[in-house]
Structure 1
Amino acid sequence: MIIVQAIDALREELKSWRRAGETIAFVPTMGNLHAGHIALVKRAQALGSKVVVSIFVNPTQFDRQEDLAAYPRTLTEDCAKLQAAGADLIFTPTPALMYPSGGLATKVEVPGVSEWLEGASRSGHFTGVSTVVCKLFHMVQPDVAVFGEKDFQQLMLIRQMVRDLDMDIHIEGLPTVRESDGLAMSSRNGYLTTVERKLAPSFHLILREVVDALHKGRQDYASLQIEAAKSLESRGFRPDYVEIRRAVDLLPAQVEDTDVVVLGSAWLGKARLIDNIPLTLKKVTETS
């Protein structure tokens, strides 16, 4: 396994692979890796003959400086996990390398999908995401990139950016990897206390209750969202949102929509949890 920090060194290695006819699969991460990240690497191995993983805690996508400062940096442990998983190259740029002017200069913004849900709750977050992913894509020039569906809105934003900018990259989404109790794996789960960790799976269960109600034919979406938020509050969470949206574009779902996704975000102590459950509803047909 190769570890590089400099962009020139990265490009030289990638050029030699391309000359040899290798296909490159890319997994961008912010480190502090868990089994969900390793699942992305394994999927990348099935899609390309060489796998590149980036580890970069991107400062421009944090809306709070205290969150950026607290985010765990575990580079040595991460590299060991990636070597065991069979990654071929790890790219570990520094903020000074990624942002030589000291911050965002040229920005990549994806209108529409970046403006609600996570975009509304975290000012500037998606501009930081789309800009850094665009930069990484330009540096790595992968044939395919793999992202987790836990960050459903982020995955949709990246797909739109790739389409809008005519990037020749296939974007692969991998279903959310969960703990045995249903909690979506996340680097931020480490912020949970022992008591909060026991409570945290309730978040997914409440979203699952919304899904079950939809499958049973409930169409009062606004009421379902309010009920779910109240359920979260009653169990000690501070909900940001629970929403039923169209899976194709994340606009509010209507009763005629069949492919929808239930998304939620809630605080539990110092941890901000996000999760989602996509589902397909039976088409409503009129009877005479």
Structure 2
Amino acid sequence: MQIFREKAALQSTVSALKKEGKTIGFVPTMGALHEGHLSLVKQAAKACDTVVISIFINPTQFDNPQDLINYPRTLESDILLLKDLNLNLIIFAPNATELYGEKVEAEAFIFDGLEHEMEGKFRSGHFNGVGTVVKKLFEIVQPHKAFFGEKDFQQLQIIRKLTEKANLPVEIIGCPIDREENGLARSSRNERLSPEIRREASFIYLTLKKVKEKFGTESAKYINEWVTSQFAEHPTLKLEYFEIADTNSLKTTSEKETGATYRAFIAAYAGDVRLIDNIALDN
């Protein structure tokens, strides 16, 4: 396993591997690695000869400055976790200056409306920050394939749109949500939950599973009202939004259309910890 802090040295190594005919996979992360990240790395390793994992806490995608301050910085333990996988890995752990230069700011993107749905309504500028750092990383690493978890499904669709609009030669692979034993979607934020609230947060996934059951027979309007009422009765979770949206456009649906596919999305707070999850409704 190799570790690089500077992009020039990383690019030299990746270029040499490509000349040998090696396929390069890429898993971008903000560190605080958990089993969900490791599942992405394992899937990338199955599909590619070498996997580059970036570990970089991107300041331009935090709409809440306190979130950036609170975000865990665990580079040493992250490296040990990756080393234990015993795979052919490269770690890229730059600082902000290495990626952004002296001016750390986000580029403005148009993602054909994807950026205005769901998370975009609640996290101003977030997807400009995501688009900026992912574009920079793709241009540095130049992978054949990049792997992203479906927990951040809106982000996944936006990155697909980014590669299309910027004509970036990388295949985007969406990977299934990795869950804890109680169904809670794995997230670095879960570590901030008390054991009791972590157990209770499984309510989010249980609700999504019931939504999937109801979707075959009930209207979207009824399901929205039902989810709102369920969260209203829950003592420790506060619903920020629930939406049933078209898988491709991410636009909220009021009634089902033939030939379309849908997902259900939830964002909720457990205390001051914001959790998101989603589920496909058509399979």
On whether the aligned pair clears a TM of 0.5, the verdict is yes
Change (3 A) 1:168 1:201: same
Cα shift at 1:93 = 0.8
The equivalent of 2:118 in structure 1 is 117
The equivalent of 2:213 in structure 1 is 212
**CA distance in 2 between partners of 1:113 and 1:207 (Å):** 22
1:150 match: secondary structure: helix
1:77 aligns with 2:77: yes
**CA distance in 1 between partners of 2:107 and 2:199 (Å):** 43
The equivalent of 1:264 in structure 2 is 266
The equivalent of 1:140 in structure 2 is 141
**CA distance in 1 between partners of 2:72 and 2:106 (Å):** 26
Change (3 A) 1:64 1:55: same
Q: Sequence identity, in percent? A: 39
**CA distance in 2 between partners of 1:108 and 1:274 (Å):** 23
1:4 aligns with 2:13: no
The equivalent of 1:171 in structure 2 is 172
The one-letter code sitting in structure 2 at the alignment partner of 1:271 is: V
Unaligned 5+ segments in structure 1 are 282-288
Change (3 A) 1:194 1:132: same
**CA distance in 2 between partners of 1:276 and 1:88 (Å):** 30
Report how many residues are paired: 279
Cα shift at 1:162 = 0.8
More divergent stretch after superposition (22-31 vs 91-100)? 91-100
Deviation track 1:208-247 (CA, whole Å, cap 9, x = no partner) reads: 22111112x112x123113212212311311111101111
1:203 aligns with 2:204: yes
More divergent stretch after superposition (183-192 vs 194-203)? 194-203
**CA distance in 1 between partners of 2:160 and 2:229 (Å):** 33
Q: Which runs of 4+ in 1 moved over 4 A?
A: none
Change (3 A) 1:40 1:105: closer
The equivalent of 1:230 in structure 2 is 229
TM-score, normalised with respect to structure 1: 0.93
1:277 aligns with 2:279: yes
TM-score, normalised with respect to structure 2: 0.95
**CA distance in 2 between partners of 1:125 and 1:75 (Å):** 23
More divergent stretch after superposition (193-202 vs 50-59)? 193-202
**CA distance in 1 between partners of 2:105 and 2:52 (Å):** 24
The equivalent of 2:104 in structure 1 is 103
Cα shift at 1:202 = 0.5
1:238–1:267: 8 Å Cα contact kept in structure 2? yes
Change (3 A) 1:108 1:136: farther
**CA distance in 2 between partners of 1:44 and 1:202 (Å):** 31
Change (3 A) 1:87 1:192: farther
The equivalent of 1:40 in structure 2 is 40
Unaligned 5+ segments in structure 2 are none
Aligned CA-pair RMSD: 1.4
Q: How does 1:45-56 map to 2 (within 5 A)?
A: 45-56=45-56
2:151 match: secondary structure: coil
The one-letter code sitting in structure 1 at the alignment partner of 2:33 is: L
1:53 match: secondary structure: strand
Cα shift at 1:140 = 0.3
**CA distance in 1 between partners of 2:107 and 2:183 (Å):** 40
Deviation track 1:23-76 (CA, whole Å, cap 9, x = no partner) reads: 100000001111111110011012211110000000100011111010001101
**CA distance in 2 between partners of 1:266 and 1:35 (Å):** 22
Deviation track 1:149-198 (CA, whole Å, cap 9, x = no partner) reads: 00010000000111111111110000000011100000001111122112
1:151 match: secondary structure: helix
